[in-house]
Structures are given as C-alpha cells and as structure tokens.
Amino acid sequence: MSRRSGILEFAVLGLLRESPMHGYELRKRLNTSLGVFRAFSYGTLYPCLKTLVANGWLIEEPGSTHEDAAPLAGRRAKIVYRLTAEGKEHFEQLLSQTGPDAYEDEHFAARFAFFGQTSRDVRMRVLEGRRSRLEERLEKMHASLARTRERLDDYTLELQRHGMESVEREVRWLNELIESERAGRDLKGSASGGSAQQDTTTGSTGGLPRRGDTPRTDTPGDTAT
C-alpha cells in the first residue's frame, strides 16, 4: 500500500467516524472541507472504499428513501458507507500513532485535520516531531544554499529563499501551537479541559486552517528534502 493511499484510508475512516456518507459526500469533504488532498477521481476513492469494506472497517448500506425516492432509470441507488466497531477501533489506533510518518508533509496535514479527535499528548508528540523534522530540513537548505549560492542566477536564488521562508513560517506556526498546547489552550485561546473530545485544537470537524495560514513546505525551493 502506497503512502498516499494509506493517508486516504485514514481520512475516509476519520470522516465516517463523524457520520455515515455516500461517495459523493466523501469526495467533497476530502477535496474541500479538509483541504488535505488535491482533487482526485472517483476511480481513486472507490477502490479505497472497497478495500475498507473488505477489511471489515466499513459496511455498505442502501441510500435513504428520501434520496432514492425517484431514481433515474438504469441508475444505481446511492450506497452509504458506515464505520463499523472494528473500523472505529482501527482508526483510533492510527490516530494514536506518533511515528515519523506522522511528520511528513501531506500525512501531517491529514493528522492535523483530525486533531479535534486526538488526545493532547499525541498532538504534542506529532507537533514536536513535525517541528524537529522541519528544523532539520531548514538546516540542510541553508547548507545547500551556502554551497551553491555563487552558481545560482538571481531567480533561482530567489526561489531557494522563498522555499526557506516557507519552512521558517511553518516552524513559527508550530511554535505557537505547541505553546498553546502546553498552556492548555485551544486555538481560540480559551482554557480547555475534560475528555479528548472536549480537548481540541481544531473543532469537531477537524478542519485545517485556511489556505495561507499554514505555509506549504513542498515548494520548488525545497531542494534538500
């Protein structure tokens, strides 16, 4: 299983933990509400759903009577996907993982999208791991630029600087999040407490910050990845 397909399975399980959905709703949430994935086709989503059903983590159910009251001739009724108890347990296991994969660019975005369902100690380990990974990347980028500066034209040099600035912005953003977590605050600055469901940073829907709030790090200037 590729890393990207693993991320997709993780996100699908997380969304279905909130409520059952059919394929169109899932694709819309993955491409817009979460902001984690670039646009992909149903040809990518449905094989993933079939795998999750085969593993016993999802079940397929007929669409509601209201949705399918007047189906078009020859058109199949919508299938609704629901998380099973085994699927919920599997997702919670994935959610508790804090290994190196959790720090990588797109996987980190998917994990962050579900921080609202994640315990504080796991959030802290993922955030600190991400920060450490980016600091290492930034050090390599500075070293690479120092070695090649004299051979670069002005535009390539500016692109390199842009890549470093993007990483530096995300490190600052992570520092702020880590400080808030240590102080027991959510993203709005209010005191949080109680269970992991109440102890959130992004809210129950697990949405990512708006585009532009979280700098991307996979820029063309990031040559040392």
The model's pLDDT over 129-171, given as tens digits with 9 standing for 90+, comes to 999 999 999 999 999 999 888 888 999 999 999 999 999 999 9
pLDDT at res. 124:
96
Q: Does the CA dihedral 13-18-22-27 come out positive or negative?
A: negative
CA distances from 76 to 41, 68, 164, 188 (A): 19, 9, 50, 45
Q: Does the CA dihedral 4-10-14-20 come out positive or negative?
A: positive
83: which strand partners? 58
Tell me how far apart the alpha carbons of residues 71 and 122 are, in angstroms, rounded to a whole number.
45
pLDDT at res. 204:
34
Tell me how far apart the alpha carbons of residues 123 and 47 are, in angstroms, rounded to a whole number.
30
pLDDT at res. 172:
97
Condensed to tens digits (0 to 9), the pLDDT of residues 80-91 reads 999 999 999 999
Residue 58 main-chain phi, psi, to 5 deg: -130, 155
Tell me how far apart the alpha carbons of residues 69 and 138 are, in angstroms, rounded to a whole number.
57
Q: What percent of the chain has pLDDT over 70?
A: 70
pLDDT at res. 130:
97
pLDDT at res. 65:
42
pLDDT at res. 222:
45
Listed residue (22, 167, 188, 19) closest to 105, CA to CA: 167
pLDDT at res. 3:
61
SS3 56: coil
pLDDT at res. 36:
55
pLDDT at res. 75:
52
The single-letter DSSP state of residue 57 is S
Q: Which CATH topology does 3-64+76-95 take?
A: Arc Repressor Mutant, subunit A (1.10.10)
How many CB atoms neighbour CB 23 within 10 A? Answer: 15
pLDDT at res. 105:
85
pLDDT at res. 78:
83
Tell me how far apart the alpha carbons of residues 82 and 60 are, in angstroms, rounded to a whole number.
7
Q: Decide: pTM greater than 0.75.
A: no
In the chain, which ranges are E strands?
21-22, 58-62, 79-83
Sequence spans of domains, the chain:
3-64+76-95, 98-225
Residue that is written with structure tokens 């399975």 in the block: 9
Tell me how far apart the alpha carbons of residues 197 and 195 are, in angstroms, rounded to a whole number.
5
Tell me how far apart the alpha carbons of residues 80 and 58 are, in angstroms, rounded to a whole number.
10
The parts of the chain modelled with pLDDT lower than 70 are 1-4, 33-41, 64-77, 186-225
Are 160 and 168 a contacting pair, CB within 8 Å?
A: no
Are 110 and 79 a contacting pair, CB within 8 Å?
A: no
